[in-house]
Amino acid sequence: MDGTEFPTAEEQEIDEIVQQRAGTHGELLGILEEVQRLNDARYLPEEALERVSQRTGVPLSRIYNVATFYSFFNLKPQGKHTVTVCRGTACHTKGSRSLLDDIGLMLDCKKGLEEGEPLVTTPDRQFTVSTVACFGQCALAPVVAVDGSIDGAMTSAKLQKRIGRLSKGRKRP
């Protein structure tokens, strides 16, 4: 060998994404969106961000700036399923805090939620729980999104049913 390193399969995929997106409107956002979809845990690993920086010429600090500004991007591995609770005023007054507490109990992640973590992923990576400031669905309060599907007038019983269906076969810690 002459010391030449060959790119890994993931590096090659990133290179292709960068090449396809070069010069398009919203180039960096599109690249990061596609790179995040490359792995099952739906996040942007540091190595991937470094590769994007190398291939685009965009400073790594700017890439982190974009990745941390938009809530769509994740810098930590995400669960297979997502549960997002609205914490806007209407939802708060209709009980979203207690729904969040119930989710913590249902998914064994109450400690992280109580500590104010913006995202909490269960150790088995089956669920990620997060909050949003407002879904803009105030008339339906309290609102919870499960895997992107927004449900209004949420109750603990309905939430337990939804999460229960997704939890079938899940091994609890």
pLDDT in the model for residue 11: 94
pLDDT tens-digit readout, 102-140: 999 999 888 878 787 778 999 899 999 999 999 999 999
Instruction: Write phi, then psi, for 40 (nearest 5 degrees).
Output: -65, -25
Mind giving me the DSSP string for 79-122?
A: -SEEEEEE-SHHHHHTTHHHHHHHHHHHTT-HHHHHTT-SEEE-
Rounded distance between C-alpha atoms, residue 148 and residue 99, angstroms: 17
Helix (H) or strand (E) holding 170: none
What does DSSP say about strands 127-132 and 144-146: parallel, antiparallel, or unpaired? unpaired
pLDDT in the model for residue 96: 95
On whether the CB atoms of residues 85 and 96 are closer than 8 A, the answer is yes
Above pLDDT 70, what percent of the chain?
A: 95
Total Cβ atoms within 10 A of residue 1: 5
Above pLDDT 90, what percent of the chain?
A: 76
pLDDT tens-digit readout, 76-105: 999 999 999 999 999 999 999 999 999 999
pLDDT in the model for residue 168: 79
